Chain A
Amino acid sequence: MFKLVIFPYQYWKGNRDMEMPAPDQSIIARKARIVDRLRSVLPADAVIEDEVETRAYECDALTAYRCPPLAAVLPASTKEVSEVLKVCHAEGVPVVPRGAGTSLAGGALPTADSVILGVARMTEVLETDYDNRFIRVQSGRTNLSVSGAVEEEDFFYAPDPSSQLACAIAGNIAMNSGGAHCLKYGVTTNNLLGVTMVMMDGEIVEIGGAHLDAAGLDLLGLICGSEGQLGVVTEATLRILRKPEGARPVLMGFDSNEVAGQCVSDIIKAGILPVAIEFMDRPCIRATEAFAGAGYPDCEALLIVEVEGSDEEIEAQLSRINAIARTHNPVELRESGSAEESAKIWLGRKSAFGAMGQINDYMCLDGTIPVSQLPYVLRRIGEMSKEYGLDVGNVFHAGDGNMHPLILFDANKPGDLELCEAFGADILKLCVEVGGCLTGEHGVGIEKRDLMVDQYDPEDLEIQMAVKDVFDPDWLLNPAKVFPLASSQERRIAAE
C-alpha cells in the first residue's frame, strides 16, 4: 500500500528538507509571555500552546513538511482577530493565517516561531439577501456550507474547489480558488463583493460591500489570491446565484489525447459555453476504473462535458456538442439519461486523485496553459514521460486550460523522487513557455515559491513584494511564502 501524499519539489531537493527560514530563537524564548498576552485577549480554550496539541496545526494538505507552531489561536470574531494581531504585532511574532488547512501548496505551513491564526470558529452566516443576491459570512465557514445556507431558496455559491466540503472561504479568498464549474461562473475573485479584513497591526478595514465595483483602487482584487500575506479576512460578502433548472453531463471517449484536446478547442470556438469540460487520459481512466468502477470506456482520453438549463435547453446544447464530438470520431459518446447516470459519469472524475494514489505515490501539478496549446502540451508531456521513465496521469479542467498532471513515482525507490522533481519542473516550465502559468488555482505557497523566477523577472517580483511592504511593513504575515526565499530574504531579515 502506497502513501497518498502530494510532495512538493523542495522536499526532494538536496537533503529533502523543505527550506524554511530558521526560527527566531528570541521569539521562542519569549513563548510564555506571548502566550500569556494572547490569553489576556482570548477565551482560555482559544489559545493552544501545548506541544502535543499544536501538532494539529503542523501542516496543511501538503503533508510532506511539518513544523508545529509556537502556538495556535482560534478567535471567534473580527474583534478577537484584531486583538490577537495587535499582540503579535507588538511582540514581532510572525502570524500564519489558516482556513481549514486544505492548501495543497503549503500556504498554512507554520514555522516554529509563528502563531497559527485559525478561523475555524468563525462560521456564522451574518446576512442573506436574495433580492440583492449576496450572502455575508464569517470567513471560517466552509465553501459547501455557504451554498448549503442558501439552498432552500434554490441559490448557490459558484466556486467549487474539489475540497469544498472541508475548505474555508478564508482559504478560498487567500488562494483565489477555482473549481470544475468556473469555466462558466468564474473563480473566487469574480464572486467576491467585499471583505472585512484585519491588518497586521490590528486595524479593521472594510473593502467593497454589497455593491459592484470599487470606489478607488481595486484593493479587493488585490487581496483575493494574496495567500494571507496582506491581511486576515474575517468576513466576506459573496455573490450568490440562482441554481440552473438542471444540468447534464455527456461522456466522450477518444483514441488520442490530441484529438480530445482538439475537441475541447472546437467546442469553445463554436460558441457553446458548457459549465465544465473535464479531461482524463488513459492512466487515469484505468486507475479510476479499478478504484471506482464508473464504467468508463477503455480509451486514450475521455472528456466529461456538462451543460445547464431546462431539459429542452440541455438537449439543444448537447446536440451541438455531440455533433462537434462526432467530427473527431469518438470511440464512445454517452449522454446521461438520468440523475443516476449523471452521478456515474462524474464518479470516476471525482475519485481520480484517490484512485491514482492507490497505484503509487504521485505529485500533483497545477499549471495552466492556453486551451489551444492542449494537444501540443499533452504530446510533450507524453514524450517527457518516456524520457523520464515515469508515468503521468492527466486529469484536469480542460475548458480553461488548468492542468493537473499527476506524476507517478515510488518514494521507496532511490532516485525516483529526484527524477519526478525534474520532470515536474520541466512540465511547469513548459506551461510557462507556451504562454501559461505555474499555478491556476492551488496557489504558490511554499511549493512553487522557488519557481516564481521562471515566470517573473526580478522587477516583477519586486513590485509584488513592495505591495506587501504597504500592507505589512514588518513582513510578519505568512512571510516565507509565495516569493523565493532569496528574493524576500532582505525584507524578512530587516523586519526582525
Chain B
Amino acid sequence: MRPENEAAMAEMVKTAAGPLRVIGGGTRDIGAPVEGETLSTAKMSGVSLYEPGALTIVAGAGTPLAEIEAVLAAEEQRLAFEPMDHRPLLGTSGEPTIGGVVAANVSGPRRIQVGSCRDSLLGVRFVDGAGRVLKNGGRVMKNVTGYDLVKLMAGSWGTLGVLSEVSLKVQAIPEASACVLLNGLDDVAAVNAMSMALGSPYDITGAAHAPVGVDGHPVTMIRIEGLEASVAYRAEKLKALFAKTGAEVLVERTPEKLTAGWKWVRDAELMQGGAGDVWRYSLKPSDAPQVVADIQEQHPEIKVLYDWGGGLVWVEAPAGTDLRRSEFAGHATLVRASNATRRAVPAFQPEPAPLVTISKGLRAKFDPRGILNPGLMG
C-alpha cells in the first residue's frame, strides 16, 4: 500500500485486516522482523514549506532525504543532526525518507552538540493505529502548548502511528570546518581527550575515536565548525590543550577529507560489508572503554568505533552472540543481524518493568489493535 495523501492513508489503516509493516524507504531494516502487509509512505512526498529565514522546513514523510538535503543546500543550510545513511551498513537499497529518519530518530556525530533528530523535530502529522489523523507541535522553535508527542513519535519506529508530515528546524552550513586529529591514543586516553575537548569552550561538533583507523592505527577526531577566524583560533587552542596527551596532533582542513572522514564515522564504514552482527551502545562516555574491554576479552576479534565523545560505541562481533551487558547504565541496540538472530535476541534492550508497562499502555492508546509494526521494538 502506497497512499498518496493523508485521507487515503487513514482509510488504509482503518480498514487494515491485519498487521502492517510500516516503512518509509525501507532502508533501515532494524528490530524484530515484522510480518504484515507493507504500508509505505513513499508517495507522501514533497517539501510543502521552506523558510530559510526562519530555519524551518516542512515536508511529507515520504520525501527522499536526498531531496531535503538538496533543497537545504541550495540555501546553504542543512539538517543539523547529520542523519546516518544505514544502507551500506545494513546492505539495504532504496531511498531513505525524512519520515524514516524521524521514526528511527537517526542522528550522526553532531548529536553531541545539537541533539538528535528529536531535538530538531518541531511538529508531526500522523495517522494512528485507529486511523485517526492527528497532529502535534507545529513549525516554531518554542512550543509548550500541550504534551510533547513530537518527541514521542521520534524514535517510535512507526509503532505509534504512521507519519504523514514532519517539520524540522534546520541549520546554516558554517563557512569553515576543521578536524583536530590525535594519533596513537588507547581507548581510555582517547575518551579522556574527547572529554577534555567537550569540556572546553570551543563548541565541538564531533568527537570520535577509532582504535583501528583507516590506516590501521588508533585515531581520535575532534571537529570544529564556524566562521573561518573562529575555526582557526579554536584549532590552535585545541592543539595546545592536547599537547599534554603526548599524542601526535594534526589539523585537517581539506574539505573533501573532512566530509569523507566524518561520513566514515557517521555511517560506521568500518563495519560495512562485514559478516558480524553490529551493536550500538548508548552509555556514559567514561564507562565506554571498560565495556569495550569486557567484550574484547571474550571476543578479541571485534571491531570498535567510538562516537559522541564515547557516549556511542559501535561494535561488530561474531554473528549470533548476545552482547547485551547489564553492568553499565545505558542500553544496547542490535542494529545488524540475521532475521533469525533478530527473532531470538530483542534488538531493542528490554526496559525496566515500570517503563514496559507505560510503553505498553501508550501503544494500546495509539494503536489499540496492535497492527502498526507489531513487535518491532519488542
A372 interfacial by beta-carbon distance below 8 Å = yes
Q: How far is the CB of B363 from chain A (nearest CB, A)?
A: 8
Tell me the complex Cα distance, A179–B227, Å. 25
Tell me the complex Cα distance, A372–B49, Å. 12
Return chain B residues, CB-CB under 8 Å to A467.
Answer: 147, 149, 362, 365
Q: Which of B132, B146, B349 contacts A452 (CB 8 A)?
A: B146
A371 interfacial by beta-carbon distance below 8 Å = yes
Return chain A residues, CB-CB under 8 Å to B285.
Answer: 131-132
- The segment out of A213-221, A330-338, A342-350 that lies at the interface is A213-221
Tell me the complex Cα distance, A265–B333, Å. 41
**B331 contacts A368, C-beta separation under 8 Å:** no
A226 interfacial by beta-carbon distance below 8 Å = yes
Return chain B residues, CB-CB under 8 Å to A242.
Answer: 199-201
B312 and chain A: residue at smallest CB distance: A212
Tell me the complex Cα distance, A154–B202, Å. 13
Report B271-312 CB contacts with A as 1/0, cut-off 8 Å. Answer: 000000000001111100000000000000000000010011
Tell me the complex Cα distance, A220–B143, Å. 16
A489 interfacial by beta-carbon distance below 8 Å = no
Q: How far is the CB of A201 from chain B (nearest CB, A)?
A: 10
Report B185-198 CB contacts with A as 1/0, cut-off 8 Å. Answer: 00000001001001
B258 interfacial by beta-carbon distance below 8 Å = no
B246 interfacial by beta-carbon distance below 8 Å = no
Report A160-179 CB contacts with B as 1/0, cut-off 8 Å. Answer: 00000000000000011010
A49 interfacial by beta-carbon distance below 8 Å = no
Return chain A residues, CB-CB under 8 Å to B199.
Answer: 130-131, 133, 155, 242
**A369 contacts B140, C-beta separation under 8 Å:** yes
Q: How far is the CB of A469 from chain B (nearest CB, A)?
A: 7
B95 interfacial by beta-carbon distance below 8 Å = no
**A207 contacts B355, C-beta separation under 8 Å:** yes
B191 and chain A: residue at smallest CB distance: A131
**B198 contacts A133, C-beta separation under 8 Å:** yes
A17 interfacial by beta-carbon distance below 8 Å = no
Report A466-477 CB contacts with B as 1/0, cut-off 8 Å. Answer: 111111000000
Tell me the complex Cα distance, A458–B120, Å. 26
Tell me the complex Cα distance, A269–B286, Å. 38
**A435 contacts B134, C-beta separation under 8 Å:** no
**A176 contacts B148, C-beta separation under 8 Å:** yes
Q: Which of B52, B150, B366 contacts A269 (CB 8 A)?
A: B52
**B155 contacts A214, C-beta separation under 8 Å:** yes
Tell me the complex Cα distance, A245–B201, Å. 6
Return chain A residues, CB-CB under 8 Å to B145.
Answer: 437-439, 444, 448, 452, 455-456
**B54 contacts A372, C-beta separation under 8 Å:** yes
Tell me the complex Cα distance, A397–B140, Å. 13
**A266 contacts B132, C-beta separation under 8 Å:** no
**A268 contacts B55, C-beta separation under 8 Å:** yes
**B148 contacts A212, C-beta separation under 8 Å:** no
**B312 contacts A221, C-beta separation under 8 Å:** no
A329 interfacial by beta-carbon distance below 8 Å = no
Report A431-444 CB contacts with B as 1/0, cut-off 8 Å. Answer: 00001111111111
**B173 contacts A271, C-beta separation under 8 Å:** yes
**B151 contacts A189, C-beta separation under 8 Å:** yes
Tell me the complex Cα distance, A186–B119, Å. 8
- The segment out of B63-71, B110-118, B261-269, B315-323 that lies at the interface is B110-118
**B378 contacts A217, C-beta separation under 8 Å:** no
How many residue pairs link A and B with beta carbons under 8 A? The number is: 258
**B230 contacts A210, C-beta separation under 8 Å:** no
A316 interfacial by beta-carbon distance below 8 Å = yes
Return chain A residues, CB-CB under 8 Å to B138.
Answer: 435-437, 455
A470 and chain B: residue at smallest CB distance: B361
**A440 contacts B144, C-beta separation under 8 Å:** yes
Report A250-289 CB contacts with B as 1/0, cut-off 8 Å. Answer: 0000000000000001101111110000000000000000
A440 and chain B: residue at smallest CB distance: B142
**B282 contacts A211, C-beta separation under 8 Å:** yes
Tell me the complex Cα distance, A296–B252, Å. 46
- The segment out of A5-13, A29-37, A69-77, A305-313 that lies at the interface is A305-313
Q: How far is the CB of A404 from chain B (nearest CB, A)?
A: 11
A54 interfacial by beta-carbon distance below 8 Å = no
**A368 contacts B76, C-beta separation under 8 Å:** no
**A132 contacts B286, C-beta separation under 8 Å:** yes
Most chain B CB inside 10 Å of its own CB: which residue of A182, A212, A316, A460: A212
**A221 contacts B111, C-beta separation under 8 Å:** no
**A370 contacts B198, C-beta separation under 8 Å:** no
Chain B interface helix/strand/loop/mixed: mixed
B351 interfacial by beta-carbon distance below 8 Å = yes
Return chain B residues, CB-CB under 8 Å to A370.
Answer: 51, 54, 56, 139-140
B152 interfacial by beta-carbon distance below 8 Å = yes
B352 interfacial by beta-carbon distance below 8 Å = yes
Report A381-400 CB contacts with B as 1/0, cut-off 8 Å. Answer: 00000000000000001001
A43 interfacial by beta-carbon distance below 8 Å = no
**B358 contacts A471, C-beta separation under 8 Å:** yes
Tell me the complex Cα distance, A441–B143, Å. 7
A328 interfacial by beta-carbon distance below 8 Å = no
**A189 contacts B148, C-beta separation under 8 Å:** yes
Report B356-378 CB contacts with A as 1/0, cut-off 8 Å. Answer: 00110110111000000000011
Report A352-384 CB contacts with B as 1/0, cut-off 8 Å. Answer: 000000000000000011111100000000000
Tell me the complex Cα distance, A438–B143, Å. 8
Return chain B residues, CB-CB under 8 Å to A210.
Answer: 284, 329-330
Q: Which of A182, A268, A463 contacts B134 (CB 8 A)?
A: A463
Q: Which of B132, B151, B286 contacts A463 (CB 8 A)?
A: B132
B141 interfacial by beta-carbon distance below 8 Å = yes
Q: How far is the CB of A247 from chain B (nearest CB, A)?
A: 11
Report B143-167 CB contacts with A as 1/0, cut-off 8 Å. Answer: 1111111111011100010000000
Return chain B residues, CB-CB under 8 Å to A438.
Answer: 145
Q: Using known A-B contacts A218-B151, A218-B154, A316-B227, determine if residue A459 contacts B132 with beta carbons closer than 8 Å.
A: yes
Q: Using known A-B contacts A176-B148, A460-B136, determine if residue A244 contacts B201 with beta carbons closer than 8 Å.
A: yes
B37 interfacial by beta-carbon distance below 8 Å = no
Q: Using known A-B contacts A132-B195, A265-B53, A463-B365, determine if residue A440 contacts B143 with beta carbons closer than 8 Å.
A: yes
A175 and chain B: residue at smallest CB distance: B144
Q: How far is the CB of B309 from chain A (nearest CB, A)?
A: 8
B135 interfacial by beta-carbon distance below 8 Å = yes
Return chain B residues, CB-CB under 8 Å to A265.
Answer: 53-54
Q: How far is the CB of A242 from chain B (nearest CB, A)?
A: 5
Q: How far is the CB of A180 from chain B (nearest CB, A)?
A: 12
Tell me the complex Cα distance, A316–B228, Å. 9
Return chain B residues, CB-CB under 8 Å to A440.
Answer: 140-144
Most chain B CB inside 10 Å of its own CB: which residue of A373, A437, A466, A482: A437
Q: How far is the CB of A191 from chain B (nearest CB, A)?
A: 9
Task: Please name 16 further chain A to chain B contacts, defined as beta carbons within 8 Å, in addition to the given A186-B115, A437-B145, A456-B135, sorted by A numbering.
Answer: A131-B195, A205-B352, A205-B355, A209-B284, A211-B282, A212-B282, A213-B116, A214-B155, A215-B333, A217-B156, A271-B77, A370-B139, A439-B143, A444-B145, A457-B135, A470-B365
Q: List 25 A-B contacts (CB under 8 A).
A: A129-B286, A178-B142, A186-B119, A207-B355, A210-B329, A213-B105, A215-B349, A222-B148, A226-B147, A242-B200, A269-B52, A313-B229, A316-B229, A370-B54, A401-B54, A401-B140, A440-B141, A442-B144, A444-B144, A448-B145, A452-B146, A467-B147, A467-B149, A469-B361, A471-B361
Among all A-B residue pairs, the 6 with the closest Cβ atoms = A221-B151, A271-B172, A440-B142, A470-B361, A215-B331, A400-B141
Q: Which residues of B contact A (CB under 8 A)?
A: 51-56, 76-77, 105, 107, 111-112, 115-116, 118-119, 128, 132-136, 138-152, 154-156, 160, 171-175, 192, 195, 198-201, 226-227, 229-230, 233, 282-286, 308, 311-312, 329-331, 333, 348-349, 351-352, 354-355, 358-359, 361-362, 364-366, 377-378
